[in-house]
Each structure stands twice: as C-alpha cells, then as structure tokens.
Amino acid sequence: MRIFKFGGASVKDAAGIRNVHDVLQKVGYEDVLLVVSAMGKTTNALEVVIKNYFEKSKELQASVQEVRKYHNQILLDLFDDEKHAAFTDVNRLFADLDAFLSQNKSPNYNFVYDQVVSMGELISTTILANFMNHMGIKTNWIDVRHFIKTDNTYRDANVDWEQTQKNISKNVKRKVLNITQGFLGSDDNNFTTTLGREGSDYTAAIFAYCLNAESVTIWKDVPGVMNADPRYFENATLLNQISYREAIELAFYGATVIHPKTLQPLQRKEIPLFVKSFLKPELPGTSVSKGKDLEPHLPCFIVKKEQLLISLSSIDFSFIMEENISEIFSLLHQYKMKVSLIQNSAISFSVCIEDKFGNFNELKTILSKKFKVAYNENVSLYTIRHFDEKAARIVEKNKQVLLKQMSRETMQVVTKEVN
C-alpha cells in the first residue's frame, strides 16, 4: 500500500479537489490511503470560533457561519445537484459542531480546541470522498479517530502505538482508495485529540508504519525539499535525495516541509518518503531514504520567526549549576516551551524558545523569583546545516546578532532586524 498526504493548500477550493482527482489518475489510486488536511485556512478560521466561544462573543455564530459558507461554496462548485449526499454529510458535521458549542461544559481550552478544529479535517475528507465517488472512483472513508489512539494531552497528544497498530492492521481495507483525516486521534474516552499543528504528515507516517507501506508521498505546492525557504532566501535549490538522518536534522531545526515526528517511524522500517508537487506530479521531487551518501553538498538554511530569547542570570552572581539548569528545563517542560537553542556560561543561561501556547508571562513570573530575567521578543533563529563563511554572511547581513553557536556541521544564529 502507498500512503499519500495532501495538505490544506492542495484542497483549498474546488479546483484543488479536482486536481487531487487528476493527480490520482496520473499516479494510480488502487491500494492507496489518502491522508488529508483541513481545506485552506480552515484551521485558522476554527481557531477564531474557539476564541469567540471562550470570550462569549456575539460573533460566535457569525464565525461558524463563515466556515460553513466557505465549505458550502466548494460543494456548490463541485456538485450540480444540491440534493447530493455530500451536502447532507457536511451539514451533519456542522450540526455536530453546533451541538458541541451549545452543550459543552468543559472550561479546558485545549480540550475544546481539539473538539472544534477537528471538524476541518472531517469536513474536507467528507467532501473529497464524495467527489471521488461522484467521479467514478470508489472510496472507503475512514474516521481516523477509530484507528489512532492517544493519551489525553489535548493539542499535542502522544500515540498509543500498541493499540493503534492493532486497529490499523486489522481494519484498513486493501486494494481500494482509502481516505482519512490527518492530525487527529482519540483518547480512551473517545474524545478527539490532535497531534500538534502540521501533524498530518505524522498521521501518514503512523499509517505507513502500521501497514508496512511501500512508500509515503507528501504532496506540496513546492517541487520538493529545498535547501532554503524560497520566501526568505533567493536561489533556493531542490535537494533531489537526502538521507533519513539529514531529513530528521532539518526537521528538528525547523524545516517546515516535513513534520519533525514524521521521519522516525519511517526510518525504523526503512519506508521511503517522497516530497512531490501536486501542481506537477510528473516531476521526481525529493526522495528520503537510507544512506550516508545522500547528504547535501551545499548549505541548507532554516529560519524560525517569532522566537523568544531568554537570558537568565543568578541574582547573587553565584554559578548556574546542574541543579539550576535541571530546574529551568523542568519549568520549560511544564509550560510547554519548545526549546530550539541553549547556551550557558558560569553565571548565565540563555535559551531560544517558541511559546506556541502563550505561557511565557506565567513562566517569566516563576523564573523571576530565582533569576534575573532578560528577554528579546520576535527574534529569528537561523540554522545553517553544512555552513560556510558565505552562508554565515547571508544570514547575518543587516541584522543584529544576539547569539551564535557552531558545531562541526551546524551553525545557529539568533538575530533581530536592524531598524
């Protein structure tokens, strides 16, 4: 079986849905499982719904209606008859959303988040499956929440691999086109969980691992894995082949083409990963597989924007020792800070973090009780794999360098724009 993942950009409108059909006609769809994200910016739109829900905003119903209107227009563009089953199926999902918003009693933001944003994937796959059937391609629509089981760490759930393996290996149909949702799972109480933003790639890898898949293909709006993000760097170059190790390194440092958790399960079973363009499916794209000889022979640039650089120093000028660092990391874990870079001296400790859950102010209050806390907001972290002097000059040009760190293969620089 082959696993295909299509992201939100590939199914953002009716033309995108039709293009997925065309891609499948070209590359084949028998014994294939599609993992599909929410359409376009639906997740962002549902986050607005959640915000309005918690703020008791009068705009709640209007924000839900915006999401409904967006999907209804796609349905109208795809199906001539408004009595088509697709309209009924999607309306049923919106009825489920309305029921949750009116009946929920939980004040837990993360719990509510997962129950609401999951509607994006459920709706997109429902529309896609209906369209494929309409075009003569018989599909098997799968509710991924019955297959991928997790703990109840809402918004960043951990997979129960043993139970998930049993569910997938026993119940996924072969020799048909399966369509399921990325990003989602469910806990022991069958409440919806999510695997973290951009987690659809990870979903594809989970299914591939459990099914001993032939390959995984991530379909993107770029030709493949580039040595730099074309939005920030000129003359970005396609990497035709890279090793699992290199891909894991790039993903760890923040390359957005492949989700960081995607690669480990694929590497364990040596399942090849392809990153290809859904706009030009005939192009080879990038292949990720085993082999030391697949390392890039040019610098690879990764940039992470909107980071926080925190510098801690001891109040009494005493050394920051192991017990202090242990306590700091415990707090970073407790407040769900993603650490990208650390550097320490005798009396100071600096860490570059991503505050994706908005917990920094609480963390700062706790840290201030034991340390002097200085910080820079909205900094950028540049990572260069296989760096050279020219590459370093590119990222440092017209910027204030706040912190720099180098190893044999990798250079990291925290910068702030110079006004």
Mind listing the pLDDT tens digit for each residue in 35-74? 999 999 999 999 999 999 999 999 999 999 999 999 999 9
Q: What is the mean pLDDT of residues 192-221?
A: 94
Domains in the chain: boundaries:
2-213, 300-417
What is the average pLDDT score of the chain? 94
- What's the confidence (pLDDT) of residue 318? 83
Q: Is the pLDDT of residue 294 over 70?
A: no
- pLDDT, greater one: 197 or 171: 171
Looking at the domain 2-213, which fold is it? Answer: Carbamate kinase (3.40.1160)
- What's the confidence (pLDDT) of residue 245? 87
Q: Rounded to whole angstroms, how far apart are CA atoms 337 and 332?
A: 5
- What's the confidence (pLDDT) of residue 261? 86
Determine if residue 231 is labeled as part of a ligand binding site: yes
- What's the confidence (pLDDT) of residue 252? 82
Q: Rounded to whole angstroms, how far apart are CA atoms 236 and 241?
A: 15
Q: Which two tokens stand for residue 140?
A: 């098997």
Are 343 and 365 in contact by the 8 Å Cβ rule? The answer is no
Question: Among 107-111, 178-182, 249-253, 299-303, which is the least confidently predicted range?
Answer: 249-253
Q: What is the mean pLDDT of residues 128-148?
A: 97
pLDDT band at 215 (very low <50, low <70, confident <90, very high): very high
Determine if residue 254 is labeled as part of a ligand binding site: no
Determine if residue 92 is labeled as part of a ligand binding site: no
Beta bridge partners of 399: 417
- What is the 3-class SS of the chain, one letter each residue? CEEEEECHHHHCCHHHHHHHHHHHHHHCCCCEEEEECCCCCHHHHHHHHHHHHHCCCCCHHHHHHHHHHHHHHHHHHHCCCCCCHHHHHHHHHHHHHHHHHHHCCCCCHHHHHHHHHHHHHHHHHHHHHHHHHHCCCCEEECCHHHCCEECCCCCCCCECHHHHHHHHHHHCCCCCEEEEECCEEECCCCCEEECCCCCHHHHHHHHHHHHCCCEEEEEECCCCCECCCCCCCCCCCECCEEEHHHHHHHHHHCCCCCCHHHHHHHHHCCCCEEEEECCCCCCCCEEEECCHHHCCCCCEEEEEEEEEEEEEEECCCCCCCHHHHHHHHHHHHHCCCEEEEEEECCCEEEEEEECCCCCHHHHHHHHCCCEEEEEEEEEEEEEEECCCHHHHHHHHCCEEEEEEEECCCEEEEEEEECC
Q: Tokens 């399960």 belong to which residue?
A: 265
pLDDT band at 295 (very low <50, low <70, confident <90, very high): low
pLDDT band at 316 (very low <50, low <70, confident <90, very high): confident
Determine if residue 166 is labeled as part of a ligand binding site: no
- What's the confidence (pLDDT) of residue 250? 87
Q: Is the pLDDT of residue 90 over 90?
A: yes
Q: Which two tokens stand for residue 413?
A: 């620089």
Q: What is the pTM of this model?
A: 0.85
Determine if residue 5 is labeled as part of a ligand binding site: yes
Q: Residue 348 corresponds to which amino acid?
A: S
- What's the confidence (pLDDT) of residue 292? 64
Q: Which CATH class is domain 300-417?
A: alpha beta
Q: Is the pLDDT of residue 98 over 80?
A: yes
- pLDDT, greater one: 320 or 377: 377
Q: What are the pLDDT digits (tens) for 242-288?
A: 999 888 888 888 877 787 689 999 999 999 999 999 999 999 999 99
